[in-house]
Homo-oligomer: A and B are copies of this chain.
Amino acid sequence: MQRPDSDATGAARRVLIVGGVAGGASCAARLRRLDESASITIFERGPHVSFANCGLPYYVGGVIADESALLVASPALFRTRFDVGVETQTEAIAIDRSMRSLRVRDLRSGATRDERFDALVLAPGAAPVRPPLPGVDLPGVFVVRSIPDTQRIRAHIEERRARRAVVVGGGFIGLEMAENLLHRGLAVAILEKLPQLMPPLDPEMAAPVRAHLEAKGVALHLGDGLARIETRPDGGLAVVSEAGLRLAADLVILAIGVRPEVGLARDAGLTLGARGGIAVDARMRTSDPAIWAVGDAVEVRDVATGADVIVPLAGPANRQGRIAAEAIAGRTTQFRGVQGTAVVGVLGMTVAATGASEKSLRRAGRSDFAKVYLHPGHHAGYYPGAQPIHVKLLFSTPDGRILGAQAIGTEGVDKRVDVIATAMQLGGTVHDLAEAELCYAPQYGSAKDPVNLAGMIAANVLAGDMPLADWERLGATDALVVDVRQPAEFAAGAIPGAINLPLPELRARFAELPCDRTLWLCCAVGQRGYYATRFLLQHGYDARNLSGGFTTYRALRDAALVP
């Protein structure tokens, strides 16, 4: 019988785990598989362990009809399958590091007791932010963290026959809640302090999400924060914004973000990071060698920017739990950091991203990068039903390493972001994307998949074959914008000041273009503009392509980034 790391006396090593959802539950199950001899106990403040917190919005919406579906594993399963003790409704309240002892409180009886440990794993998660503003604790104001939260929301909707909801916050949870409340028949308004939805995205990539939600009937109030929540004379609520807007609501969801639960760690004197999360090494060990920490409460390295970040994502939390278990079992697996791959589906649109955004790169002080936009179909155009995917790819210059990608569309979005995320994880370049050999049949992709195209376009930029015009300088340049679309396309809408010279006429008419001005080429999505750029460059013009063409222009304009 193997007893890795069991102590010299032969007594079972005691491993205590605080928090039994993603990271904590993964850690317990993995540790048992590696070490039959350890005594393992999970303490969970709530009534459930290992529940599907990413499913909560869908349980509110009724898409997931049965609460029991959210319970991935029960305490009984942990006991019979893994011989792991689970103490629910038991809160960890203090760590005595010198005694290696954890004080816990039974929330039903109020009784406290001390539990000795050889190894302690903190997986406390993160709590939804409730800003210190008037009215945030009123009845009818909810956060979405636990199954009881969602039960309360469901009950409130039914009992009050709620018709109008205000969601404060337009990020992942906010959008998922908006979709699900709409699905339940409520009218939904979103109040978001930033001037864009989906804060992790760059603003122009979020712009189509806004248009989509508005088309679906969601009332959007962007660039305006929550000031207070009041009770209306009729018993309902009113959400008052910083700008003085007053939104009537029968239900308010606070989806402003989450804050790592570091109280226990901080009180025990464990080192916190610059961002306020629990500091850990690559094996998830805290500043105390007997204590590990995993999940939404820890600070980890962003592999794209090198910055320390707190990323509340289930995938990394699960993997961190495994790594902590492996470390406790004496193995040397290391966490590679996070790249922030994330996806949200909202009313038929998929929004996904991986790695750095342009704004996160700029925040990190980087300027050695370039970006391209493209809008390919999600599968071959000749097969019915192709839907555009809007892609932004960021890559470092001059080496072409992939830094990040954002994509939105209705089909095949997650696939392309997953592929780019994988290439990025392995240190891939845009050339690797260009050469990727991906599944192609007409209903699945294209001979040149959107991923290939993104890589090819970026490679053209790196090779100097496609000099890029600088969208940000559109209002401040004396370059001439030459739109090479057909006259009917141009007439339907164009960049102010642009002239029209359709691509099929370019070879015959290019001499009409001024030799002494920089030419910025524009088409619908960037492809014809690229062809024109290549032609003009080889005929001695200073030509640059507006990446993504008029489709990107509209998104930039909607995001107020160009005139």
Contact = CB atoms under 8 A, between A and B. Distances in A.
A384 B62 CA distance: 11
Given A36-B535, A83-B507, A317-B447, 20 more contacts: A36-B538, A36-B539, A52-B442, A55-B380, A64-B383, A70-B382, A172-B441, A315-B447, A318-B448, A319-B434, A319-B435, A343-B440, A343-B441, A343-B445, A354-B437, A422-B426, A422-B432, A423-B425, A425-B435, A426-B428
B383 A316 contact: no
Contact of A318 (B317, B432, B447): B447
Interface string A251-280: 000000000000000000000000000000
Interface stretch (A198-206, A217-225, A237-245, A334-342): A334-342
Contact of A465 (B33, B55, B531): B33
A129 interface: no
Contacts of A428: 422, 426
B55 A382 contact: yes
A207 to B, nearest CB: 21
B504 A315 contact: no
Contact of A441 (B72, B336, B344): B344
A32 B317 CA distance: 50
Interface stretch (A87-95, A105-113, A132-140, A412-420): A412-420
A352 interface: yes
A463 to B, nearest CB: 8
Contact of A339 (B314, B380, B421, B437): B437
A63 interface: yes
A404 to B, nearest CB: 12
A365 B444 CA distance: 33
Interface string A386-428: 0000000000000000000000000000110111011101111
Contacts of A422: 419, 422-423, 426, 428, 432, 436, 438
Interface-central residue, A70, A340, A538, by most chain B CB under 10 Å: A538
B465 A34 contact: yes
A531 B64 contact: no
Contacts of A449: 315
A439 B343 contact: yes
> What are the nearest 6 A-B pairs in CB distance?
A343-B439, A36-B538, A314-B447, A426-B426, A415-B415, A414-B439
A81 B82 CA distance: 67
A41 interface: no
A54 interface: yes
A350 B415 CA distance: 15
Interface of A: 1-2, 22, 32-37, 52, 54-55, 58, 63-65, 69-70, 72, 80-83, 172, 176, 313-319, 322, 336, 338-345, 350, 352, 354, 380, 382-384, 414-415, 417-419, 421-423, 425-428, 432, 434-445, 447-449, 451-452, 456, 465, 503-504, 507, 530-531, 534-535, 537-540
Nearest to A344: B441
Tell me which of A342, A380, A442 has the highest count of chain B C-beta atoms within 10 A of its own C-beta.
Answer: A442
Given A414-B444, A447-B315, A438 B382 contact: no
A534 B33 contact: yes
Contacts of A80: 504, 507
B418 A438 contact: yes
A276 B154 CA distance: 68
Nearest to A431: B333
Nearest to A76: B504
16 contacts: A32-B534, A33-B465, A36-B535, A52-B382, A52-B442, A55-B442, A80-B507, A81-B504, A313-B437, A314-B447, A354-B437, A418-B419, A419-B422, A421-B436, A422-B426, A426-B432
B531 A81 contact: yes
A554 to B, nearest CB: 25
Contacts of A55: 380, 382-383, 442
B417 A419 contact: no
Contacts of A317: 447
Contacts of A344: 441
A12 B415 CA distance: 44
A33 B423 contact: no
A63 B421 contact: no
A510 to B, nearest CB: 11
